[in-house]
Amino acid sequence: MVNNPVLTSKIQPPQPPGNFYFLEYFYILLKGVSTSPQKEKIFDQFLNLKYQYRLGESKYKKLTEYSNISTNIMYRYKYTFEQVLGEATDYKLIADNGAITLTEEGITVIKKYEIEGAVSFNQYLFKLMEEKRQQPFRYLIETCYKANPRKSGLLIFPIYSAHRLGIERVSITTSKDMKKYFYRLKERLEEDIHKHLGKQIYLEEKNNDLIRKLTEDGLLPKEDSELFEQAKYNVILRRGRDFWLKYFLVELYGYQISLNSFERWAYRGKQIGLLHITEFYPDPHFNGRVVYPLSVIKNSSNSNRFQKLYEYLDDMKLYLHQPSWENETNQEEFVKSLHQAYLDVRQLARTYFVSLPNVRERVCYSMKITEYLFDNFLGYAYHNKRLRISISLEVDKLPDETKVMYLRREPVMVDGKYRNIIAIDLA
C-alpha cells in the first residue's frame, strides 16, 4: 500500500506538455529522424511507425491504411507530428538547423527503447520532462496527496449521463427537464465527494452558476416551460461535464493548470508508472475517471517495495511502488488479490470467463501497482505451479469480428499473445 508522504515543497504549476499522450511518439519520431534529415520523409516514417505500433488506437482495432485516410485525419496526424517535433526539440533530442538530425541524447533515447524496453525508455523521458517542464510529475503527485490524504491521494472526476441518474433521454425536452437533470447530478456529486473525499460540500450555488451560464449563452431557455433545441442536447451536457470536471480539478483539488494539461501529464505519468488514471473504478455506484498515485515523494524510504527513480535539488526523492515477484509475500498477495477480483467480476457478470481488463483494474487498485507490473505478475502466476492456482486465459471475439470499432482498454499480453478473458480455480 502506498503511504502518504511528507509534503514540504511549494513548486510552481508546470508548463503544459505537447498536445499528445503517448510517449512512444518520441521513439517513432526519432526513428524517422535516424533515416532522413528531411521533414517530409520523417513524417512519412512517423506515419508508417504509428500504423505499425498502432499508437492512438486499440491493439484490437483494424486500422485504415494511412494512404486512404481523410484530409481531416491527415491534418490531425500532421498536427500531432509537429507537437512531438517541438517537444523533442525542447528536450534536445533532435537539432533543427534546416536539416533535422539526432543529438547524442536522441541516440541514447533510441537505444533505451530498443535495448532496455518501453519501461526504461519512459522513465528516461520522465527525467527530461521533470527537468525541462518545471517538475510536472512532482506537482501532480504532491497535489494528489494534499487533495485527499484520507485515501492516499485518490482523486475522482465523476461523469454521469442522464441515463446513469435514472432519467430517460426522451423525457428531457424543456428547460425545466434539463435543470432537473443538473439538480440530480449535483446531488450525486455531493454524495461522491462525501463518500470518496470525506468532505461535506454543498453545490447548490455552483449548480446555479452553471445553469445561469448555459442560459446566458443561449443554450437553455429562460422560461422553464420552453423547449430547448434538441440539436444542442450533447453540447449542453458536454458544457456541464466540463464545468464540473474543472470545478473538481481547480476548486476542490487545488490544481492550477488546465484540464487538458492535467490529463496529458496524468496519462504520461501512467505510462511511466507514477500514477494510475482510468475511467473504470471498482465501485458499481460510481461513474467517471479516477486518478491515484503509485509513487511517493519523501526524504528517504527503507521499504524494499519502493524503487528510487529521481532525486530533486532539495534532497527530496521520488520512489515508485515496485514490489518484486521474487518476494513470496508479494506472490501470495497478488494471487489473493487476483482471485478476489475475479470473484467480484464474476458475481457481476455471472459467467465463468470474465473480462480480464476488469479484473486488472481491481488488482491494480487494491495492490497499487502499474498495469505493466500486473501483466508481468499474471504471466509469472500463469506458469507457477507452486502457487496452487489454475488460470485460464483466452481471447474472445475481436471487435473486427463483432463490428465493434473501439475499445477503451487494451487486452493483456501473456506469452506474446493478447488475452482479454480469464477464468480462475484454486487448487
The pLDDT, as a whole number, for residue 336 is 95
Per the DSSP assignment, residues forming a β-bridge with 288 are: 158
- pLDDT score at 405: 34
Residue 68, pLDDT score? 58
Q: How far is CA 181 from the centre of its chain?
A: 28
CB-based burial of residue 415 (10 Å sphere; 0-12 exposed, 13-18 middle, 19+ buried)? exposed
Beta partners for residue 209, in sequence order:
none
* Number of residues that make up the chain: 427
Q: List the chain pLDDT tens, one digit each, 427 residues.
A: 455 554 444 678 999 999 999 999 999 999 999 999 999 999 999 999 998 887 865 554 444 444 556 788 899 999 999 999 999 999 999 999 889 999 999 999 999 999 999 999 999 999 999 999 999 999 999 999 999 999 999 999 999 999 999 999 999 999 999 999 999 999 999 999 999 999 999 999 999 999 999 999 999 999 999 999 999 999 999 999 999 999 999 999 999 999 999 999 999 999 999 999 988 888 888 999 999 999 999 999 989 999 999 999 999 999 999 999 999 999 999 999 999 999 999 988 888 999 899 999 999 999 999 999 999 999 999 998 888 889 999 887 544 444 443 345 667 888 888 888 999 998 6
Nearest to 356 by CA among 392, 326, 390: 392
State the cell numbers at 380.
509469472
pLDDT number for residue 57: 59
The three grid cell numbers given for residue 36, joined into one nine-digit string? 532522413
pTM given for the model? 0.90
**Is the distance from CB of 367 to CB of 341 less than 8 angstroms?**
no
Per-residue pLDDT, 133:
93
What is the pLDDT at residue 210? Answer: 98
Burial class (CB in 10 A: 0-12, 13-18, 19+), 356: buried
Strand-strand pairing, 421-426 and 99-102? unpaired
Q: What is the crossing angle of helices 136-147 and 259-272, to 10°?
A: 100
Query: Nearest Cα to 45, choosing from 63, 64, 69, 28?
Result: 28
Exposed, middle or buried by CB within 10 Å (0-12, 13-18, 19+), for 338?
buried
3-state secondary structure the chain: CCCCCCCCCCCCCCCCCCCCCCCHHHHHHHHHHHHCCCHHHHHHHHHHHHHHHCCCCCCCCCCCCHHHCCHHHHHHHHHHHHHHHHHHHHCCCEEEECEEEECHHHHHHHHHHHHHCHHHHHHHHHHHHHHHCCCHHHHHHHHHHHHCHHHCCCEEEECCCCHHHCCCHHHCCEHHHHHHHHHHHHHHHHHHHHHHHCCCCCCHHHHHHHHHHHHHCCCCCCCCCCECCHHHHHHHHHHHHHHHHHHHHHHHCCCCCCHHHHHHHHHHHHHHCCEEEECCCCCCCCCEEEEEECEEEECCCCCCCEEEEEECCCCCEEEEECCCCCCHHHHHHHHHHHHHHHHHHHHHHCCCCEEHHHHHHHHHHHHCCCHHHHHHHHHHHHHCHHHCEEEEEECCCCHHHHCCCCCCCCCEEECCEEECEEEEEEC
| Cα–Cα distance measured from residue 25 to residue 321, given in angstroms and rounded to the nearest whole number | 26
Contact 274, 137 (CB under 8 A): yes
- Residue pair 78/43 in contact (Cβ under 8 Å)? The answer is yes
